[in-house]
Amino acid sequence: MGLAGFVPYAAARGKRQKGPGPPVPSPPADPDALMKVAVLFHRDPLVMSPGIDLVRLQAISGGLLDRGVETEIVAPVPAEARLAGRIPVRPLSALDGPAGYDLVKTCYHQSIRLLGGFRGPVVSRLVRVVDQRLPERDELFRRELLACQDLVSRRARAVAFNNPENRERWIGRYGREQLIVLTPTGCPAEIPEPGPNPYRTGRPAILFLGSLAAPRMVELLNAAAERLAGRAEVHLLGRNKTALYGGQVELSPLIVQHGERPEAETWDFIRFAGLGLALATGPLAFDNDVSKIINYLRGGLPVLSEEPILQNRLVRRTGLGRVFRHGDVDDLVGQALALLERPPLERRGEVMALMAREHAWERRVETYLELFRRILAGA
């Protein structure tokens, strides 16, 4: 895509010539530098616990800054600040003030409600498309999520999804009025050098990274920990969020809980584990976009993943892992032991390089940047 389409918004932000005469836009060497983008987030990122939401926010916002785009996070914060020491964060009032954003990108369903007086183009990212019945685990928030989706369908110029399954659900419900792109979760192109082994017992470590977001996930993890006791140890690096999705289910005392850790620390948990476990929220593929698999593979960790997780196609493509039958504890335990005994590490380096090359955050940033150019060029 060429850069001629930058004229409409470049002119609006052009420089004046000295002397008499009307303002004349001066074409810059880097037209992206004329773009000013607000990344609208529905929570205060400065007080959030570590997790994929914060990782993605920093990766996309910071990646746009690295590409020369003037980018600010706008969120419910009390005052201006900086995230990770370099990404400007401004209060919601910035959308109504003189900040002059050319475009706003929202991050989750609820973000669309925070637009305030902004009247320019909007790009909305949605993790999953909810309907009147599915996913069942969203029942508590269904009315709110549906209202947000309806607002996105009326207000957004473009919608971004992690996967084709949710893109097709959106089209089936809201049609093709908007531009639609796929922006899956990514991973860092560079990961930290090895640190100390965080596992202490010497038993093979089975790592579950991220949130437990459905009661059946905890039930399955508990059953696995009990069946594997003495042969392997299950570790949780994340939070039990079942209270938000159908009722609190407590974790077995056999599971070692590490809580949420900063992203830099997670790589040693990945590096020294025997396998990375991915569990489905339920039987529906569209509700099982599991970003942790991207990190497992980037770290070279063999994966054991449940059907019908969407990233299983990547597990099968790379050969670095196995897929077990949905809800089958016997199959989970049997395949876990087989992976621990005979890890498929022949292509480990090749897989790590593949993830860095094809799934790095920079690739996701480029997708957004091309979309922003298209919108601001009036396409």
Measured in whole angstroms, the distance separating CA 239 from the mean position of its chain's CA atoms is 16
Give me the long-range contacts of 147-151 (CB less than 8 A, separation at least 24).
Answer: 148/109, 148/110, 148/112, 148/113, 149/109, 149/173, 149/174, 151/112, 151/113
Task: Give the pTM.
Answer: 0.90
For residue 14, the model assigns a pLDDT of: 39
| Equal CATH topology for 4-186+360-376 and 205-358 | yes
Q: What is the pLDDT of residue 80?
A: 97
Element (H, E) at 109: none
DSSP string, 331-372: HHHHHHHHHHHS---TTHHHHHHHHHHHSBHHHHHHHHHHHH
Where do the structural domains in the chain lie, given as residue ranges? Answer: 4-186+360-376, 205-358
Compute the C-alpha angle 147/152/154, nearest 5°. 100
pLDDT at residue number 25: 43
Question: Which residues partner with 233 through β-bridges?
Answer: 205
Q: b/e string for 256-287 if b means 16 or more Cβ within 10 A?
A: bebebbebeebbbbbbbbbbbbbbbbbeebbb
One CATH from 3.40.50.2000, 3.40.50.970, 3.40.50.300, 3.30.70.580 for 4-186+360-376: 3.40.50.2000
In whole angstroms, what is the distance from residue 237 CA to residue 107 CA?
A: 24
pLDDT of the chain along its 379 residues, tens only? Answer: 332 232 334 333 433 233 334 444 444 446 676 799 999 999 999 999 889 999 999 999 999 999 999 999 999 999 999 999 999 999 999 999 887 999 999 999 999 999 999 999 999 999 999 999 999 999 999 999 999 999 999 999 999 999 999 999 999 999 999 999 999 999 999 999 999 999 988 899 999 999 999 999 999 999 999 999 999 999 999 999 999 888 899 999 999 999 999 999 999 999 999 999 999 999 999 999 999 999 999 999 999 999 999 999 999 999 999 999 999 999 999 999 999 999 999 999 999 999 999 999 999 999 999 999 999 998 5
Residue 60 to residue 49: CA distance in whole angstroms: 18
Q: pLDDT tens digit string along 217-230? A: 999 999 999 999 99
Can you give the pLDDT at residue 7?
30
DSSP secondary structure string, 5-37? GGHHHHHHTPPPPSSSS-------S-GGGG-EE
* Residue of 94, 198, 113 lying closest to 154 (CA atoms): 113
pLDDT of residue 247: 86
Residue 49 is classified by DSSP as: P
The pLDDT tens digits of the residues spanning 175-230 come to: 999 999 999 999 999 999 999 999 988 899 999 999 999 999 999 999 999 999 99
State the pairing for strand pair 205-209/233-237. Answer: parallel
pLDDT of residue 379: 52
Fold exhibited by the domain 205-358 = Rossmann fold (3.40.50)
50 touches 25 (CB < 8 A): no
CA distances from 162 to 13, 230, 288 (A): 33, 38, 11
